[in-house]
Amino acid sequence: MTKRTIWEIEESYAERATELLRGWYERRGEIARAQEAIGGAHADLLTGAQRAEAAYQQKAERASAEAERRRREYLELTEGRNAAVRARVRSLRNEVYAVDNADVLSRAALATDAQLGAMLELAATTGNVELGKAAFVAAEQRQLGEITSRYLSTAPAATREAYEELKAAPSEEAMERKLADADKFFPAPSPADFAPTFGAA
């Protein structure tokens, strides 16, 4: 299986995403505090208000470029995280659900709920791993918690651990939402974002 666990992938991703966000807010603060040099052939003809507006515009342009750069980094990071999660999930699914014997799997798929329980008992008695796993797979699809729990209680520790890790994996919808969050986390500031707010308490 892919070596890094879901928890390790998520922890690493969270740390790096937090660093990106923290760096963005720090950089935006630096831009906000910086003095802007207003150039141009007619800069000396500008009024105080016009010079201030030009300074806010320059700050917004620099901050927007910085936001775009960090947005791209965040998307690259998130796409890499999502790919790692998907690879890990494929490995875990193979560990937990793969049944090589197609005939046994077909029998389980067509069995009644009661017959699945009987198949699980027979598998435990005879040591038939494939039969037990096939009954488990069918029971899991039908959300038969009692049969699922019985199988997992006697399954190898590696299988139980893989099952628990698989349940902790983020859904496809959750992973896609992380990508959609890029614009929310790294918005392009406007000149007004750098203008002082008067009358604040």
Summarize pLDDT for 132-181 with one digit per residue, the tens. 999 999 999 999 999 999 999 989 899 999 999 999 999 999 999 999 99
pTM value? 0.82
Task: Name the maximum alpha-carbon separation found in the chain.
Answer: 94
- In this prediction, residue 201 carries a pLDDT of 43
200 pLDDT band, cuts 50/70/90, is very low
Helix, strand or coil, per DSSP, at residue 29: helix
CA distance 109 to 17: 43
Question: Where do the domains of the chain lie?
Answer: 6-37+47-191
CA distance 26 to 4: 31
Task: State pLDDT tens for residues 45-104.
Answer: 556 677 677 778 888 999 999 999 999 999 999 999 999 999 999 999 999 999 999 999
- In this prediction, residue 3 carries a pLDDT of 83
In sequence order, which residues have a C-beta less than 8 Å from that of residue 44 and are 6 or more positions away? none
Task: State pLDDT tens for residues 9-23.
Answer: 999 999 999 999 999
CA distance 23 to 16: 10
